[in-house]
Chain A
Amino acid sequence: MPSLGIEVLFKGTNFLRLLGGLWVAVRISLISVAISIVLGIAVGMLMTAKRKLLKAVFRIYLEIVRIMPQMVLLFVVYFGTTRVFGWNLNAETAAILVFSFWGTTEMGDLVRGALQSIPAIQHESAQALGMNPLQVYVSVILPQTVRRIIPLSINLITRMVKTTSLVVMIGIVEVLKVAQQIIEANRRVAPNAAFGVFAVVFLLYFLICWPISRLAGYLEKRWS
């Protein structure tokens, strides 16, 4: 059996470095996800508002984010805006900005859908019990909305985690970049390392995303 080159990971601190890179990727996604959830809920509520202009603005925002590849957005923010506006943006902040910009609108759309899927009779029967609008929202509508968006938003979170691998392109040294460095450095002694090391990276991503998507499945079952 040909060598898989995994042994290079056990040289020096290589494996720890790889984990460090993974942490960078996870950190960027965690912060972006947290921002997206908070802003997304607000945006989702605004999207159900009856104002036509507001609706149109968010619609356009959503379409732009969906149409534009995340990598292009990253380039625009990191290489473009820093030039034009002359500000000093480090790569990680740029990545968090872009991923939050993306996550907020996707999350907002999920929240909007969930809010609108709650039947009018739920509002009415709560009102008929004498609840004021705030009580109706807090006790009846929001808990049902949260149950509906959690499985969907977890799907979004795993997508965001996976997409952070793009930040390599703006010079962030995350797990994929560390893997490349390790492979390059050992090109002579372990020419097959590309297979072994990238396979480990794949496994690491799997270990992060799999529990998250299992959680989604569990919650979906519990709340259905």
Chain B
Amino acid sequence: MENVLLSVRHLRKAFGEHAIFEDFNLDVHKGEVVVIIGPSGCGKSTLLRCLNGLEPIQGGEILLDGEKVLRDNTSITKMRQKIGMVFQSYELFPHKTILKNILLAPMKVQKRPRAEVEAEALKLLQKVGLADRKDDYPRQLSGGQKQRVAIVRALCMHPEILLLDEITAALDPEMVREVLDVVLSLARAGSTMVIVTHEMNFARAIADRILFIENGKVVEQSDNPKAFFAHPVTARARDFLKSFDYE
């Protein structure tokens, strides 16, 4: 396909003897939002961590724009600038203000001028409703606010693709919405994203494609999330989705 942005081919990932993925394949197209769901321990987060080289892989390859993601220092730091990642725990740098958290990498890594990055940062902060908190420290923000800052921080690097690893899993329920709204507006603006989540309603609303993974294998995938959630084909997916219902 022409517009494949990220491609995972024959990925093999193991922790010691324990294999997570034997032969995993995935193509993410430009502008596509892929949502990965599945039971805990199925390898969802590990997959995202492999994609930006935080985990060494034991076989296969990962291509971004046709270029291989290697783990040596120079090429991985270059690659990671194109791959934004937001984690489950709010991982802002506690010793820096919100604004400095955002400015750090664009200025240090990409050597962009402060004025330009700051203008962009403020615009993005405005969009997520946190412009007035720019001089606060992370500890003064709620979890949901911190996650929105983390998203802005990733966006300021102008990544080609965003990886979101259960970004609402550690949040209080009433804060989930504010974070997911931000992600939803990114999706509408055409961002390419790979999202791991346990928020099924959110997955249904945002996904272009749903992947249901178990034991390192794609059990079911669908380009029609509404149909998938209404009538999953496989028994395994049916059981999994049932566990989210309280009827």
Contact = CB atoms under 8 A, between A and B. Distances in A.
Nearest to A224: B139
A140 interface: yes
Interface string A122-134: 1011111111110
B89 A128 contact: no
Given A124-B54, A143-B95, A131 B105 contact: yes
Contacts of B77: 130-132
B108 interface: yes
A127 B157 CA distance: 13
B87 interface: yes
Nearest to A147: B95
B157 A139 contact: no
A121 interface: yes
Interface in B122-178: 150, 153-154, 157
A143 B83 CA distance: 26
Contact of A121 (B91, B110, B154): B91
A129 B157 contact: yes
B93 interface: yes
A165 interface: no
Nearest to A146: B95
Interface residues of A, number: 19
B154 A129 contact: yes
B91 A124 contact: yes
Nearest to A134: B73
A130 B95 contact: no
B66 interface: no
B78 interface: yes
B87 A130 contact: no
Given A130-B78, A132-B73, A144-B94, A121 B109 contact: no
A131 B106 CA distance: 10
A147 B95 CA distance: 9
Nearest to A144: B95
Contacts of A223: 95
Nearest to A142: B95
Contacts of A121: 87, 89, 91
A147 B54 CA distance: 27
Given A122-B93, A125-B91, A130-B81, A139 B108 contact: yes
A140 B96 CA distance: 9
A81 interface: no
Contacts of B52: 128
B54 A131 contact: no
Contact of A130 (B91, B94, B109): B109
A218 to B, nearest CB: 17
A128 B80 contact: yes
B80 A130 contact: yes
Nearest to B156: A129
A130 B52 CA distance: 10
A133 B80 CA distance: 13
21 contacts: A121-B87, A124-B87, A125-B93, A125-B150, A126-B93, A126-B105, A127-B80, A128-B85, A129-B80, A129-B104, A129-B153, A129-B157, A130-B81, A131-B77, A132-B73, A133-B73, A135-B109, A139-B104, A143-B95, A144-B94, A147-B95
Given A124-B87, A126-B93, A131-B105, 10 more contacts: A121-B91, A125-B91, A128-B85, A129-B81, A129-B104, A129-B105, A130-B110, A131-B109, A132-B77, A144-B93
